[in-house]
C-alpha cells in the first residue's frame, strides 16, 4: 500500500510539474498570440489587392514545403506564423481580393471578425438552451432582427413583431436557426417534409418513401439534388423542371403544376418544392407566390433558397422578389455571402418549428433539463443535423448592431450600382453581349459570335474559354463560367468587400485588352 501511495505521489508531482510547463490558455500567451495574429490580418488586408488572386501552385505543393511528420517538440508561435506567411498564404485563392469576381462573394467585416474571435474564445457548445442561454437567445434575437428587415411575416418569428414592440416576448410556433450552409438548410427541411408526407399518406415507417416526389427548376443549385439523395428520396422521383429564355431561366409555375398533377395522377405524393431567389448560374428569380400556390394543391412543403440574393431583400426596391413568402414553409439565406458576416452563417426560418423537431429531436437523459422539459424553449440541436453547435449568432448580431440597417442597405446598393457600371460597359462594346438580364450584382456575358465577320458559335466558345483562362492566369482578375441555354458564359460577380468601382473598371480594361489579343491571334 505504501508503494502504491508513493507511486501516486510521484505521478501527481510529475503531473503538477507538467501542468506548470504546459498551459495552452495562459492569458499572457493568448494576448501575445492574438496580437501577432491581428497584425497578420491587418497586413493581409492592406496587401491583398496587390497579390495574384489565384495562386500559381501545383497539387501537393504544401506537403513538400511543410514537415510531413507531426512535430513532437514545441516551437515558438513565431515559427507557425512564419510558415503561414511563407507556405500557406502563397497557396491561397484570395476571396478577399477586390479583383475576385468568380463566385458569389464571401463577404466579411471588422464587426464579424470580432464576433467570430470572441465566440471562438468563449468556445461554448450551445446544443440546448441550458448549455448557453445567452447563445440561444442571441441567435433568436439576431434572426428576428433580420426577419424584420426582410419584412417576413410574424409566423416566421421566434416571437411576433407586435410582442417584441410591446415587450411581451410571447412565443409562436415559428422560428429559426443558424446553420453552416444552404445545403444543411435544404437537408433538414427535406427530412421534415419527407416525414410529414409519410404521415399524411398513412405510410408505415419509411415504406412509402418511394412514392414521394420533389421538385426544383433545372437552374437550382446542385446541392439540392445532393440533399435529396441524403434525405433518402428516390433519384427517379426528383423532378428537374426545364427552364428557358422565355422565363429568363426562372421556374415556370405552370410547368411545375403540370408535373405535380401528373405525378399525383400516377399515385405519387408531391412532397417538396425548392424555389430559388438568385440562382447560381444567372441569378434567376423563381416566382415565390406562384410556386407556393401550385404546391398548396398537394400540401407540399415549399422552401425558398435565397442564399445569395435574399440579403438584397432588406432593401425595399428588392423586397418584391420575396412576395408570397407568407405562403411558404421555410426560407434560408446566407449572410456570409452578401451581408458582411464571415463564414459560416446560413439563416433558416420555418413557419412551424415542430415540423423540424418532430424529425430531428433527440432526448438523451444527459441533456434533459427544466427549461427543455417545460416547453418554454426550443433547443437548437433539434433543428439541425448534429448536436454540437458554435456560437454563430454572436457575429451576426455584432454586424447588425454595429452597422445598422442603413449601412447594410448602403453596402448592397453600392455593389448593385457597380455591377450596373460593368453591365453598361459590356453592352457598349459590340464584341460582347449580356446573355441574360442582370439581377442584383451578377453580370453574365460573353464574346458574341459576331465579334468578327468569320467567327462561328463554336469559335465564340473557344474564344470565351481562352478569355477566362488568360484572365485567371494573369492574377489580376478571377472569373468563373457557367452554361446558359447551351452557351459557355462568363460570370462577373461584384461584391467582394474591399471592391470599389476602380477595380471593376480595371477588370473591364483587362477584359477588353485580352479580347483584342485573342481576336487578333496574339499568343499569350
Q: What is the pLDDT of residues 340-358, one digit of tens each?
A: 999 999 999 999 999 999 9
164 band by pLDDT with thresholds 50, 70 and 90 = very low
Of 137, 139, 176, give the one whose Cα is nearest residue 155: 176
Q: What is the pLDDT of residues 358-385, one digit of tens each?
A: 999 888 888 888 888 888 888 889 889 9
Q: What is the average pLDDT across 252-270?
A: 97
pLDDT score of 205: 77
Q: What is the average pLDDT across 270-279?
A: 97
% of residues, the chain, pLDDT over 90: 79
Segment among 102-106, 448-452, 511-515 with least mean pLDDT? 448-452
6 band by pLDDT with thresholds 50, 70 and 90 = low
**Residue 222 pLDDT greater than 70, yes or no:** yes
Q: What is the average pLDDT across 185-194?
A: 97
Of 447, 458, 452, 455, give the one whose Cα is nearest residue 512: 447
% of residues, the chain, pLDDT over 70: 93
**Catalytic hit among 44, 249, 308, 366:** 366
Of 370, 369, 516, give the one whose Cα is nearest residue 447: 516
* Cis peptide preceding 344, ω within 30 of 0: yes
Segment among 83-92, 119-128, 258-267 with least mean pLDDT? 119-128
208 band by pLDDT with thresholds 50, 70 and 90 = confident
Pairing type for strands 330-333 and 480-484 reads unpaired
Segment among 1-5, 124-128, 170-174, 435-439 with least mean pLDDT? 1-5
The Cα–Cα gap between 106 and 124 comes to 25
**Residue 167 pLDDT greater than 50, yes or no:** no
Q: What is the average pLDDT across 30-56?
A: 96
Sign of CA dihedral 250, 254, 255, 261: positive
- Sheet with strand 432-434: strands edge to edge: 432-434, 442-447, 487-493, 480-484
pLDDT score of 169: 41
171 band by pLDDT with thresholds 50, 70 and 90 = very low
Q: How many CA atoms lie within 13 A of 11 on its CB side?
A: 6
Three-state SS at 477: coil
159 band by pLDDT with thresholds 50, 70 and 90 = low
Segment among 77-81, 98-102, 359-363, 492-496 with least mean pLDDT? 359-363
More confident residue, 127 or 241: 241
Of 492, 399, 378, 501, give the one whose Cα is nearest residue 439: 492
Task: Give the chain's mean pLDDT.
Answer: 91
More confident residue, 131 or 172: 131
**Residue 286 pLDDT greater than 90, yes or no:** yes
**Residue 86 pLDDT greater than 60, yes or no:** yes
**Residue 14 pLDDT greater than 70, yes or no:** no
User: Quick one: angle between helices 110-122 and 393-428, nearest 10?
Assistant: 150
CA 169 to chain centre: 30
195 band by pLDDT with thresholds 50, 70 and 90 = very high
**Residue 1 pLDDT greater than 50, yes or no:** no
Which pTM value belongs to this model?
A: 0.91
Q: What is the average pLDDT across 19-35?
A: 89
What CA–CA distances, in Å, run from 61 to 57, 91, 473? 6, 8, 18
**Residue 487 pLDDT greater than 60, yes or no:** yes
Map out the domains of the chain with their CATH numbers: 4-89 (1.20.1340.10), 128-164+173-390 (3.40.640.10), 405-519 (3.90.1150.170)
Q: Specify whether 366 is catalytic.
A: yes
**Residue 396 pLDDT greater than 90, yes or no:** yes
Segment among 85-99, 167-181, 392-406, 454-468 with least mean pLDDT? 167-181
What phi and psi values does residue 345 have, to the nearest 5 degrees? -160, 100
Of 367, 352, 354, 335, give the one whose Cα is nearest residue 132: 367
Q: How many CA atoms lie within 13 A of 47 on its CB side?
A: 10
The Cα–Cα gap between 376 and 520 comes to 71
Amino acid at each position: 500500500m505504501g508503494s502504491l501511495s508513493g507511486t501516486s505521489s510521484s505521478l501527481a508531482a510529475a503531473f503538477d510539474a507538467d501542468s506548470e510547463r504546459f498551459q495552452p490558455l495562459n492569458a499572457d500567451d493568448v494576448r501575445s498570440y492574438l496580437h501577432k495574429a491581428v497584425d497578420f490580418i491587418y497586413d493581409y488586408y492592406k496587401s491583398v489587392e496587390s497579390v495574384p488572386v489565384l495562386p500559381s501552385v501545383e497539387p501537393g505543393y504544401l506537403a513538400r514545403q511543410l514537415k510531413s511528420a507531426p512535430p513532437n517538440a514545441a516551437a515558438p508561435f513565431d515559427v507557425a506564423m512564419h510558415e503561414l506567411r511563407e507556405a500557406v498564404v502563397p497557396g491561397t485563392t484570395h476571396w478577399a481580393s477586390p479583383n475576385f469576381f468568380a463566385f458569389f462573394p464571401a463577404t466579411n467585416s471588422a464587426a464579424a471578425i470580432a464576433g467570430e474571435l470572441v465566440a471562438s474564445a468563449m468556445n461554448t457548445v450551445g446544443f440546448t438552451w441550458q448549455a448557453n442561454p445567452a447563445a440561444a437567445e442571441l441567435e433568436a434575437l439576431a434572426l428576428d432582427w433580420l426577419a424584420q428587415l426582410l419584412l417576413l411575416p410574424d409566423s416566421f418569428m421566434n416571437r411576433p413583431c407586435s410582442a417584441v414592440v410591446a415587450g411581451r416576448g410571447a412565443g409562436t410556433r415559428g422560428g429559426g436557426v443558424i446553420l453552416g450552409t444552404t445545403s444543411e438548410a435544404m437537408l433538414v427541411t427535406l427530412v421534415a417534409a419527407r416525414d410529414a408526407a409519410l404521415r399524411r399518406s398513412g405510410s408505415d415507417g419509411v415504406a412509402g418513401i418511394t412514392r414521394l416526389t420533389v421538385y426544383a427548376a433545372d437552374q437550382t443549385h446542385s446541392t439540392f439534388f445532393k440533399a435529396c439523395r441524403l434525405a433518402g428520396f428516390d433519384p427517379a422521383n426528383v423532378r428537374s423542371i426545364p427552364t428557358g429564355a422565355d422565363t429568363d431561366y426562372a421556374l415556370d409555375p405552370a410547368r411545375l403544376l403540370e408535373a405535380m398533377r401528373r405525378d399525383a395522377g400516377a399515385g405519387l405524393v408531391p412532397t417538396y418544392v425548392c424555389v430559388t431567389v438568385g440562382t447560381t448560374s444567372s441569378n434567376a428569380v423563381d416566382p415565390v407566390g406562384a410556386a407556393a400556390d401550385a404546391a398548396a394543391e398537394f400540401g407540399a412543403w415549399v422552401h425558398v433558397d435565397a442564399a445569395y440574393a435574399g440579403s438584397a431583400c432588406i432593401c425595399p426596391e428588392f423586397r418584391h422578389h420575396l412576395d408570397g413568402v407568407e405562403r411558404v414553409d421555410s426560407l434560408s439565406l446566407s449572410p456570409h455571402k452578401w451581408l458582411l458576416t464571415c463564414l459560416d452563417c446560413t439563416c433558416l426560418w420555418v413557419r412551424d418549428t415542430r415540423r423540424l423537431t418532430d424529425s430531428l429531436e433527440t432526448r438523451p437523459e444527459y441533456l434533459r433539463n427544466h427549461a427543455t422539459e417545460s416547453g418554454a424553449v426550443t433547443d437548437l440541436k433539434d433543428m439541425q443535423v448534429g448536436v454540437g453547435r458554435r456560437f454563430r449568432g454572436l457575429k451576426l448580431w455584432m454586424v447588425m448592431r454595429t452597422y445598422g440597417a442603413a449601412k447594410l442597405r448602403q453596402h448592397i446598393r453600392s455593389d448593385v450600382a457597380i455591377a450596373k457600371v460593368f453591365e453598361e460597359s459590356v453592352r457598349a462594346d459590340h464584341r460582347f453581349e449580356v446573355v441574360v438580364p442582370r439581377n442584383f450584382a451578377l453580370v453574365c456575358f460573353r464574346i458574341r459570335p459576331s465579334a468578327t465577320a468569320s467567327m462561328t458559335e463554336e469559335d465564340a466558345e473557344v474564344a470565351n474559354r481562352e478569355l477566362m483562362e488568360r484572365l485567371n492566369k494573369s492574377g489580376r482578375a478571377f472569373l468563373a463560367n457557367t452554361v446558359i441555354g447551351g452557351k459557355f458564359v462568363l460570370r462577373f460577380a461584384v461584391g467582394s468587400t474591399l471592391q470599389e468601382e476602380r477595380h471593376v473598371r480595371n477588370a473591364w480594361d483587362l477584359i477588353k485588352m485580352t479580347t483584342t489579343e485573342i481576336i487578333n491571334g496574339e499568343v499569350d
